Structure 1
Amino acid sequence: MKWRYFRVRSKQILWNEDNRVKLRNFNYLPRWLVIAIDLAIVIFSFFLSFLVVSNLNVSFYDVLTRPQECVFISLVYFASFFIFSTYAGLIRHSTFVDIFKIAISCGASALFLSIISYSYYGIFEKKIFLFPFLLINSVLTFAGMLMLRLTVKSLYSFIMNMGRKRHRVLILGVNDDSIAVGEALSIADHKNFVLVGFVSFNKRYKKLKILGVPIFKFDNLFFGSILPLKVNGLILVGNQLDTSEKNNIVDKALEQNLRIYHAPSITQWENDADVTSNIKEIQIEDLLERHPIKLDDTQINSYLNDKTILVTGGAGSIGSEIVRQVSRYKPKQLLILDQAESPLHTLELELRQQFPEVSYEFILADVRKKNRLEKVFEAYEVSVVFHAAAYKHVPLIERNPTEAIQVNIIGTVTLADLSAQYGIDRFVMVSTDKAVNPTNVMGATKRAAEMYVQALMQERQSNTKFITTRFGNVLGSNGSVIPHFKEQIKNGGPVTVTHENIIRYFMTIPEACQLVLQAGTMGQGGEVFVFDMGKPVKIMDLAKKMIKLSGLIPGEDIEISVIGLRPGEKLYEELLSDQSTTLPTHHEKIMRAKDDTMFLEDVMNLIIEIAAAAEQSDDLGMIGKLKVLVPEFKSENSVYELLDLPSCSDE
């Protein structure tokens, strides 16, 4: 029975169900086995050394017999293995340090044996060991132990990469970061990449090599010169290139059907990840022309540190990032309010792990319910409110306008009134570029919310500073175009674009939230701050580049389908209305838009009428009143276009 168990168990360990050897299960050799093999090498080296020295016409001393010498020498080497921990590292990850340990161990053993031999000679006038024998034995032992490690390392690498598809790549740059990544590639266990060479931007190196591979100059002849090498891709390391240079290289590389990868500076690598996990295909977000944002941490810290902060819509894309960034300023307490249960729970698990020192309160609530919100203001001494709760998807809101009225307008009114009533210091509202000359219900509701907080500030019935921040599309937010395109490409297409000429401004979620925090420090109340969104991006070009970055050809591997503008969608987004004046601020990426404000009573009366129509599910009446409140709201590609006709306006 025992033999049968051993046979079955051995088969489970060594073989897969398809009868292929599972050599990849041998991730490391046990330490006892390493020591046993090293001792076997010592014994083998002893007898080999004996044979070598015997041919030198010398006589061995007769203090010890040959077996006794072998045992004595083996014990000394065995002790040195423990002293210098030659067995401690994983053989497959052996480095120069491990080789150095082996050399020191063998040298120290030979030295100790020599000292014993000469000490014995000093007492009894006889030597135990021949010095040439000890020297040759030490060298052979070192060579044997080194060969063991090199053999295991090479065998492991061969087995792990057997059948693995490997990409032949060039690394851009010849600086320390690029060379460090090249070294990491050369010693990696999982060789997904084969380093073919480096690329210099400034100088031509003729015969010089780094890590045994040549250096190419990036010029007009570059792609022709690397053609014989069958290069599959380029690796960009760190941030040594600005966005325009990076785009130039990527565009040219994509024309040659090369894959583009990005590796962070090696000091930023995740320690528990292998080389392959740190080198990833470059993302479209990395190629959008964005410049780093400089924040005034001192000002931000002064109004967030040791304060109670409320973030509505805190489990959403923007709200959750605001929460993460606020957490770094060590608030007294951070209240995270959202009506979405599962995302709120997921965020709680993340934050309690990442920021265990911050006091959080996760509040499941709806901004439309005044009684629920009032309990929150009563229970906590809120100092700052970041209002990010909103419905934002244009086509969906166009079909369900009542919900947008109740959340985007009534929810904001309720929250703003309570903020003024309880005398909080700052109310920072997150708005959108779609509020400028809106062509859809979503944009119009956000503009109505802006108008209310501006009017409330103008009345100055409290000390609360009401500040509005307005920006465009954010990369990677829920339902945004880039994740949508990625999913379509993953599924084989087609990639759907609403119009060939449609353009959009883009900003990353962290960028947008950083500017929200900064704008919160700058406002004195009533301002609408507009963020520098950089250059607008043509969505058709975005789709084509994303397909190419996936290693596919637009129009051949992945089709691009133009499906027409969606309800309420317009070709060009705006950040400022025609009537606005733009004033600079002390932050280069934040401008101040000065819109005309209405009296609070007039705004409130129209909002009451809009809310009443919403309660009756009277969509046309509700949107009609919304167009009175926001006269620049002209519907496009929508059922509400009829309300813009002169006959309807006269009514």
Structure 2
Amino acid sequence: MAKLNHVFVHRFCTRMVSLHRTTKIALMVTADLIALPFCFLAAMLLRGGDLKLASHYGPGSYVLVAIVTIAAFFISDLYRAVIRFIDQRLLSATGLALAIAVLCAYTITFSVNEANFPRSALAIYWFIAFSYVIASRVGVRNLLRTLNGNQRGTSEVVAIYGAGESGAQLAQTMRNSDEYRPVCFFDDKRALSERTIGGLRVFHTDRLVETVKAMGIRSIVIAIPAAAPGRLRDIMQRLAQAGISTKILSRLVDLADDKVTPRESIRDLKFEDLLGRAPVPPRLDLFALCVRAKNVMVTGAGGSIGSELCRQIATLRPSRLHLLDHSEFALYTVRQEIANRFPDVPVEAHLGSVCNADLVERILRDNRVDTIYHAAAYKHVPLVETNIVEGLRNNVMGAQVVATAAARHGVETCVLISSDKAVRPTNIMGASKRIAELIFQAAAARPGTDTTFCMVRFGNVLGSSGSVIPLFQRQIARGGPVTITHPEVSRYFMLIPEAAQLVIQAGAMAKGGDVFVLDMGEPVRIVDLARTLIALSGLTEKTQQNPGGDVEIRFVGLFPGEKLHEELLTDGVVFPSEHPRIMRMKENALRPSVLDTFINCLMMACDTHERGLIEGMVKAIVTEYNPGRHAEGPVSAPSAAPAPAPASSPAVATQAPIAAPQERLALIKKFVPFRI
């Protein structure tokens, strides 16, 4: 019989919860319209001691009091609240509104000189009516929570980090969900230790590990939405001791909306949350100037930055989007994605190398391209350092082909994606990007050019193909070790969407020859990044102090040409730009004619495959280049035939008449200041 009653009550409550919001309000008003006259009757009985005083006033008086009280409830938003989420704040507001209604009634009776009316009954009525509101609402709330709790055998047992207002609201919301079952709070404040908030015990973080084990906690939710990235990193270091997964409250739940669930407001903690600064939003008025209703080409469209550029450009409705990449699979993948997600954007995919001058010329000539974003480059430092010939040819010649073709065919804006490694470079990849910057600066300085050339320089991009994040994630998934070159190495980091937005905005702000740099906050130590990723995976670091840890961090030494700390700014002059978080720089540049001759000699040096000669030529162009020590001799086996220089490139126009190797070496050594 008891089981049948429980089933009946459960079905009834489920039915009530599923009713339309208007129907729920109507039911609550009807219940109050019945109960409140009896509350006033009880007040009159308590005031008079018998029915004589209560019967002196007709039923209309009791109904009138109920109507005035219900109006006060409407003003306090009592009827718009979800009973399952009702809280002390709302009940306090209801009590205040009821008190104002009673005070108004008292004033009216006094003004009409109703001497026989017992005004003290109004004060008694306030206590009785408010007690009724609390008892009815809280009683129904507890009934719903109890019935809901009986169905939550599979709920995830969680703890909440942060016993503040956000944590208390989150705990209340979790109690009414099927996903999570909160069992306690953790907080750094010792004044809150062992206290109870929202029915849950608060523990200091010193007791984190033992409490997690004792209560069978499966994850911890950080309920500090406004926490700075630095504080989040400190919290992660503490939570890593427990070896459980960590989530974060992304936004406060609107308690008046019964459609919002904890699943929508709680998410896994991402490394972006620990970046060290808030992501930089784009300025919408700059965002579309070089893209909307224009023909746009992206080189290296299949890469991490290139593909994100294509996505962001497609949202701005260009007339046509041209994709250029030498990787068939990468080009196919990004073309399919853009075609599926943005079916109204015309897309053309061009397969080939950016060093192919005939291909680039044909694309620009046949399609009248307005804007170019040059993202094609080899960027992996160790690979380029051991394959310097192909690295220089691709990064340097690719930039020169694009710049030359853009100027020749009247492209409006041409943006180069550079790197922080171009600042005082210590490796070939960084030096090649600095040479590419010099090429764009020279293109902007050529007399009569109508194309606006500019460069964008930023640090490591989280999640890109060359980023350490995917490598660390793979190493952690295998159980380690996580390999880091040096314990003090640090880098600037940004998000892929940030990088793409910076590139697009730079084109709109450029005046010609500008270098744009994002304010990237403070650099992040790579070892801290690795430890954070280990903690985010719910694992612990294996150290001498913690030999039972899950993942070891191993230092393997700096790679050839690798810096301990990257830089974003040179000694050039820094100016503000139209965007408050983007800086504009003007740097020293070479005269176009001098740079053409230098690049010509650099390409001839590459044909010799002699590292010392090549690095000497790079040093002649980029005087800040300071490479590490390398062995003399050939870089790699010479190819059967050197790659032909693009006919359209003025930098290699003088290469053909110089056929004899001795003549080539003599010309190169004229510009090489020293042999490494």
TM-score, normalised via structure 2 length: 0.66
5+ residue gaps, structure 2, are 28-143, 636-671
Q: 1:155 to 1:99 in 2, by over 3 A?
A: farther
Partner of 2:272: 285
Give the 3 Å change call, closer, same or farther, for CA 479–587 of structure 1 in structure 2: same
Matches within 5 A, 1:600-611: 600-611=592-603
Identify unmatched segments of 5+ residues in structure 1: 1-40, 46-90, 108-148
The answer to whether 1:576 aligns with 2:569 is yes
Residue aligned with 1:423, SS: coil
Partner residue in 1 for 2:616: 624
In the alignment, what sits opposite 1:38? Answer: none
Task: State which of 251, 256, 259 in structure 1 corresponds to 2:237.
Answer: 251
Q: Secondary structure at the match of 1:241?
A: coil
Is 1:598 paired with 2:600?
no
- Is residue 589 of structure 1 aligned with residue 581 of structure 2? yes
Partner of 2:524 in structure 1? 537
| Deviations, residues 133-187 of structure 1 (Å, cap 9, x unaligned) | xxxxxxxxxxxxxxxx9999999865xx4xx9x5432264665798468646753
SS in 1 for 2:235: helix
From 615, 626, 629, the equivalent of 1:634 is 626
Which secondary structure does the structure 1 equivalent of 2:551 belong to?
A: coil
Could you tell me how far 1:603 is from its partner in structure 2? 0.4
Quick check: 1:500–1:540 contact (8 Å CA) kept in 2? yes
The answer as to whether partners of 1:216 and 1:222 remain within 8 angstroms in 2 is: no
1:166-177 → structure 2 map (5 Å cutoff): 166-170=156-160, 172=162
Paired position in structure 2 for 1:98: 18
Say which SS state the counterpart of residue 569 (structure 2) adopts. Answer: coil
Asked if the contact 1:186–1:195 (Cα under 8 Å) also holds between the matched residues in 2, the reply is: no
Q: C-alpha distance in 2, partners of 1:240/1:429?
A: 36
Count how many residue pairs are aligned between Structure 1 and Structure 2. Answer: 504
Confirm or deny that 1:495 pairs with 2:485: no
CA contact (8 A) 1:438 1:633 kept: yes
Deviation (angstroms), 1:606? 1.0
Counterpart Cα distance in 1 of 2:388 and 2:621:
15
Spell out the pairing of 1:366-515 with structure 2 (5 A cutoff).
Answer: 366-515=353-502
Over 3 Å counting, the alpha-carbon distance change for 1:155 and 1:291 in structure 2 is closer
Which secondary structure does the structure 2 equivalent of 1:363 belong to? strand
How far has the Cα of 1:528 moved from its partner? 1.1
Identical counterparts, % of pairs: 32
Separation of aligned partners in 1, 2:574 and 2:20: 67
Contact 1:309 1:335 in 2 (8 A): yes
Instruction: Tell whether the 8 Å contact from 2:209 to 2:242 is kept in structure 1 after alignment.
Output: no
Match of 1:3 in 2: none
**In the TM superposition, what whole-angstrom CA distance separates every residue of 1:471-522 from its partner, at most 9, and x where no partner exists?**
1111111131111111111101111111122111111111122222222221
Partner AA of 1:623 in structure 2: E
**Residues in 2 aligned to 1:438 and 1:505: alpha-carbon distance in whole angstroms:** 16
Q: Secondary structure at the match of 1:583?
A: strand
Change (3 A) 1:437 1:224: closer
Q: Secondary structure at the match of 2:355?
A: coil
Q: How far apart are the structure 2 equivalents of 1:544 and 1:237?
A: 22
Shift of 1:417: 0.5
Post-superposition Cα deviations, 1:544-597, rounded to whole Å, max 9, x if no partner, equal: 2322332223323222211111122121111123x3232233423222222211
Aligned pair 1:553/2:541, yes or no?
Answer: yes
For residues 621 and 386 of structure 2, the distance between their equivalents in structure 1, rounded to whole angstroms, comes to 20
8 A Cα contact 1:409 1:445, kept in partner: yes
Aligned with 1:559: secondary structure? Answer: strand
Distance between the aligned counterparts of 1:207 and 1:100, measured in 2?
Answer: 39
Equivalent of 2:322, from 335, 350, 354? 335
CA distance in 2, matches of 1:273, 1:368: 53
- Residue of structure 1 equivalent to 2:90: none
Q: Quick check: 2:163–2:202 contact (8 Å CA) kept in 1?
A: no
* Displacement after TM superposition at 1:330 (Å): 1.6
Instruction: Tell me the distance in 2 between the aligned counterparts of 1:250 and 1:413.
Output: 46
The answer to whether structure 1 residue 564 and structure 2 residue 557 are counterparts is yes
The DSSP-based 3-state class of the residue aligned with 2:616 is: helix
1:219-244 Cα distance to aligned partner (Å, 9 max, x none): 77785996764545321358432323
User: Which of 235, 244, 262 pairs up with 2:248?
Assistant: 262
Label 1:360 to 1:274 Cα distance change in 2 as closer, same or farther (>3 A): farther
CA distance, structure 1, for counterparts of residue 528 and residue 433 of structure 2:
29
Tell me which amino acid in the other structure corresponds to 1:342: F
Code of the residue aligned with 1:561 in structure 2: it is: R
Single out whichever of 230-239 and 605-614 deviates more from structure 2: 230-239
Residue by residue over 1:31-86, the C-alpha shift from the partner in whole angstroms, topping out at 9 and shown as x without a partner, is xxxxxxxxxx99x99xxxxxxxxxxxxxxxxxxxxxxxxxxxxxxxxxxxxxxxxx
Question: Take 2:584 and 2:294, find their aligned partners in 1: how far apart are those partners?
Answer: 26
Q: Could you tell me which residue of structure 1 aligns to residue 110 of structure 2?
A: none
1:326 corresponds to 2:328: no
Structure 1 residues 568 and 224: CA distance shift in structure 2, 3 A: closer
Residue in structure 2 matched with residue 351 of structure 1 by the alignment: 338
Separation in 2, partners of 1:422, 1:95: 70
**C-alpha separation in 2, matches of 1:399 and 1:207:** 61
1:115-264 correspondence to structure 2 within 5 Å: 158=153, 161=154, 166-170=156-160, 172=162, 179=169, 183=173, 186-188=176-178, 191=179, 193-197=180-184, 210=198, 213-214=199-200, 216=202, 229=215, 231-236=217-222, 239-257=225-243, 259-264=245-250
Question: Do 2:174 and 2:181's aligned partners in 1 also have CA atoms closer than 8 Å?
Answer: no
Shift of 1:262: 2.6
